[in-house]
Every structure is written in C-alpha cells, then in structure tokens.
Amino acid sequence: MQEDVLNIKNQALAQIMSADSAAELEQIRIDYFGRNGRFTNIIKNIKRVSADERKRIGLIINEAKKSIEELLENQKRNLRESVREWFDPTVPGQKPEIGHLHPITKTINEISRIFGRIGFERARYPEVEWDHFAFEALNMPKNHPARDEWETFFIDVPENSKYGKTVLTPHTSNGQVREMLRVGTPPIRMINIAKCYRRQSDISHAPMFHQFEGLVIDEDISIVNLKGTLDYFAKSFYGEGRTTRLRPYHFQFTEPSFEIDISCGVCKGRGCKVCKSGWLELGGAGMVHPNVLKAGKIDPVKYSGFAFGWGVERVLMMKEEVGIPDVRMIYGTDLRYLSQF
Ligand code: FA5
C-alpha cells in the first residue's frame, strides 16, 4: 500500500507540473481527491490494513496529500501571474470619465467675471436670514401685503428681539442693507450671488434657486448708469447685438422700479414664436428707495443708487442654444442630461 501511495503521489506531481491551465489543474484535483479519486479510494481502503500499519500509512498518506495540494496551489498562482504579466499594448485603453462643473456653477462664475470687469465686488450673505434684512429694512414692514410675493419659508425658532423671525432668504436683496452697513461710506459696487428659497415648484420655479443681485451706490448715480450696466451684461452674457429695455413695475425697495426685458436672440427684437413681442423678461431692477438707504445708514440726500436682482437659472435658460424645458431638471441627478452642458 505504501508503494501505491508513493506512486500515486509522483504521478500527481508530474501531472501538475506539466498542466498549463486552471481547468487542467482542477481536473487533476478531481482525479485524485474527488469522490472517486485515486487518493480518496486509498483512504477508503485503509481500514483493511492492521491498526499499527494503518497509523504508519496514514502519516505517509497525509504527507503525500499535503505535497500534492501545495503544488496545486503554487501552480495555480504561477499560471495567474504569467497571465497578468502578459500585456497586449495594442488593446485600446479605458478612458476614465472626466466630470465638469455644474451648469449653474459655470454660469455663476461667468456672471462674477462679467461684473468683476466693471469693478463689482462679489459678496455673499446668509441664506438663513433675519426677517429684518429680507423684508423690514427693504421698506416692507410687518404684515405689508407686498411680502406675499416672496412665498417665504419661516424657520421655527424663537424671534430675535431686534431682527425678528428667521427665514430662508427668498431673494438676494437681503444683501443690500447688509452691504451698506459693512461698507459704511459709498461707493458700493456689489454683486451678491447666492441661493434663495421659495415655496414654489413648476417648470419655471424651483424651491431652491439662485439670484444675482447688483447694488451700486455713489453720488450722482442715475437710471442712465443702470441702463448702461444692464446693456453691458446683455452683450457680455448673450452676445453682441443684444440690448435691454425697462418697463415700469413696482418693488417696495426701489423707486422707480422696473422689469427688465432683453431683446430676443432668435428674431433680434422683431417678434417671433419664441418671444412673441421681440422681448424676453429677465428680472427686476430700480433705483434704491431712500428708506432702504436710511436703513443702511446712508444719507439719501447725498447718495443715490440702483439695484437689480435676477435668477441665475433664468438667465441660463434664456441662452437660446441651451435647451432647458424645466428648471427643476437642472437640479436632477440625471448625468446623461447634465453632462451635455
Ligand atoms: C426679486 O426677488 C427682487 N428682489 C429683485 C429686485 C432686486 C428688484 C433689486 C429690484 C431691485 P422677483 O421675485 O421678480 O424679484 O425675482 C427675481 C428673479 O428671480 C425672477 O425674475 C426669476 O428669474 C427668479 N426667480 C424667482 N423665483 C424663482 C423660483 N422659484 N425659481 C427660479 N427662479 C426664480
């Protein structure tokens, strides 16, 4: 029996050494250690020999089994490594996916650059804001009906004795009086770009969106300066040949107040299916109300200013080469859509 064991062991080792695939090695394992394997059968027959002999043969069998199993493992590893070392330089590489900035981040950067070129300084003010800066200081006292327009989220925390309730700011105009208090003495040239929140959700309104707010205060600032700044933005952002017009409107914090339209890029202001009238609505603007200057501790006799506040999503959607049928898609997680920008 001892001879049988040694013979089987040598045959197995020889076969393993000459095997050149994982499948072949697996077959050898089955041939020797499977249910009807040559080794398995030897072990089954061991009960036929005497007890003393059984002990001795048992040791030899174990030793043989161990050598075979070790060699099987080694040979498997060698085969795997030799496959790994085989490198075909003609196989095309796998391109890693490269991300890019979100379209709104890109638009914010572009707006900052455009206003930066004419001396506006980028500012940021709190999104979680006091009622005072979002409304009261903007000439909208408590319970004033004009507040309804802003469909505001109120935070359920105790009121501040000086600044009132806490809100999620519904517009970037909260930065106006904060900037006046920060700077102290004009000139002020601020561009405040930030997140805003309103209880709205439809194809042109998202509960969270961005506005950019311009504020200029100095001596002798007039509507002419406002119109020049708006035209400069229209040309820089949308391209040469685009212009703006002012339509009378009402905001509590500007007087006079305007809605700003931009000439349609498709028909160049003549009127077409997209715009109907030749003009597309951009956002609000006006001359800063004296009460707002006073709230910012600025003398309304000596200084005047203009302000405007537009939606970042809206100006991006109005770039006619970018098709965004629903503003909420900008904040979806569908990368197939977002990667187009
Ligand atoms: C305001 O918020 C004023 N604070 C603008 C202003 C500033 C006027 C300074 C005068 C002086 P309005 O509510 O119209 O105005 O919003 C301005 C722009 O924000 C809109 O034209 C629109 O582009 C954008 N906007 C408003 N609500 C949403 C919304 N839910 N989703 C996306 N964009 C919005």
pLDDT tens for residues 151-186? Answer: 999 999 999 999 999 999 999 999 999 999 999 999
Q: Which atom of ligand 1 is nearest to the CA of 315?
A: 23
Residue closest by Cα to atom 13 of ligand 1: 150
- pLDDT surpasses 80 at 283: yes
Instruction: List helix spans (H) across 126-173.
Output: 131-134
The CA 85 to ligand 1 mean position distance, Å, reads 62
* Nearest Cα residue to 189 out of 130, 115, 276: 115
Reply yes or no on whether the pLDDT at 61 is more than 90: no
Task: Assess whether the C-beta atom of 286 lies below 6 angstroms from ligand 1.
Answer: yes
CA of 269 to the centre of ligand 1 (A): 23
Q: Report the pLDDT value the prediction gives residue 185, as an integer from 0 to 100.
A: 96
317 CB less than 6 Å from ligand 1? Answer: no
Q: Which two tokens stand for residue 276?
A: 């109907």
Q: What is the mean pLDDT of residues 96-101?
A: 88
Closest CA to ligand 1's atom 6: 309
What residues contact 283, with CB distance under 8 A and at least 6 apart?
Answer: 211, 259, 260, 308, 309, 310, 311, 314
Q: Is 303 a pocket residue for ligand 1 (Cβ < 6 Å)?
A: no
CA atoms within 13 A on the CB side of 251: 28
Helix (H) or strand (E) holding 209: strand 208-218
Residue 252 is given by DSSP the state: T
For 122-158, what is each residue's pLDDT tens digit? 999 999 999 999 999 999 999 889 898 899 999 999 9
Which among 253, 271, 22, 19 has a CA at the least distance from the CA of 150?
Answer: 253
Measured from the CB, is residue 200 less than 6 Å from ligand 1? yes
Predicted pLDDT of residue 334 = 86
Q: Is the CB of 165 under 6 A from ligand 1?
A: no
Would you state the pLDDT for residue 58?
Answer: 85
Predicted pLDDT at 249: 96
What is the predicted pLDDT for the residue at 227? 96
Q: Which of 85-89, 250-254, 288-292 has the lowest mean pLDDT?
A: 85-89
pLDDT number for residue 182 = 97
Residue 296 Cβ inside 6 Å of ligand 1? The answer reads no
Report residue 224's pLDDT band, with 50, 70 and 90 as the boundaries.
very high
The verdict on the CB of residue 314 being under 6 Å from ligand 1 is yes
pLDDT (0 to 100) of residue 52: 82
